[in-house]
């Protein structure tokens, strides 16, 4: 009995094929959304580690519980100022890296 061999693909190959290659609009949008989703999950995790409810965190930074919920589900509509306020209220350090061509600019 013959065994059928399946071709395997890397995640990058699948993204290239179904989303678009790096540098295309679709791929850039996908990668951005993914990063914002991860950022939202990090905020939620830090909040839970500090034993705060969404309402309590909201009060610390002057927003409603609904805004914290929205931020945790995806941070793509949040301003950098809001994100910085959230992490400051959580007593968590956050670093941004900005890449200009081949040089990184680090914002702390």
> What CATH number should be reported for the domain holding residue 75?
1.10.260.40
Answer yes or no: is 103 within a domain. Answer: no
Q: State the pLDDT at residue 83.
A: 87
Q: How many domains does the chain have?
A: 1
Contact assessment for residue 75 and residue 35, using Cβ atoms and an 8 Å cutoff: no
Answer yes or no: is 6 within a domain. Answer: no
The strand pairing partners of 106, in sequence order, are 97
Q: State the pLDDT at residue 99.
A: 65
Contact assessment for residue 75 and residue 83, using Cβ atoms and an 8 Å cutoff: yes
What is the per-residue pLDDT across 60-79, written as a single tens digit (0 to 9) for each?
999 999 999 999 988 777 88
Q: What percentage of the chain reaches a pLDDT higher than 70?
A: 87
Answer yes or no: is 34 within a domain. Answer: yes
State the sign of the Cα–Cα–Cα–Cα dihedral 48, 97, 30, 7.
negative
Cβ neighbours around 13 below 10 Å, total: 10
- Domain extent at residue 85: 11-90
Question: pTM of whole model > 0.85?
Answer: no
Contact assessment for residue 38 and residue 73, using Cβ atoms and an 8 Å cutoff: no
Tell me the C-alpha distance between 85 and 90, whole Å.
9
Tell me the C-alpha distance between 74 and 102, whole Å.
29
Answer yes or no: is 18 within a domain. Answer: yes
Answer yes or no: is 106 within a domain. Answer: no
């Amino acid at each position: 009995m013959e065994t059928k061999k399946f071709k395997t693909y890397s995640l990058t190959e699948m993204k290239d094929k179904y989303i678009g290659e790096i540098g295309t609009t679709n791929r850039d949008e996908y990668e951005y959304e993914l990063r914002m989703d991860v950022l939202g999950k990090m905020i939620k995790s830090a909040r839970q580690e500090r034993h705060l409810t969404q309402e309590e965190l909201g009060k610390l930074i002057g927003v409603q519980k609904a805004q914290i919920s929205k931020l945790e589900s995806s941070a793509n509509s949040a301003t950098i100022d809001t994100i910085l306020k959230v992490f400051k209220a959580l007593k968590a350090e956050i670093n941004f890296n900005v890449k200009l061509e081949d040089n990184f600019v680090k914002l702390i």
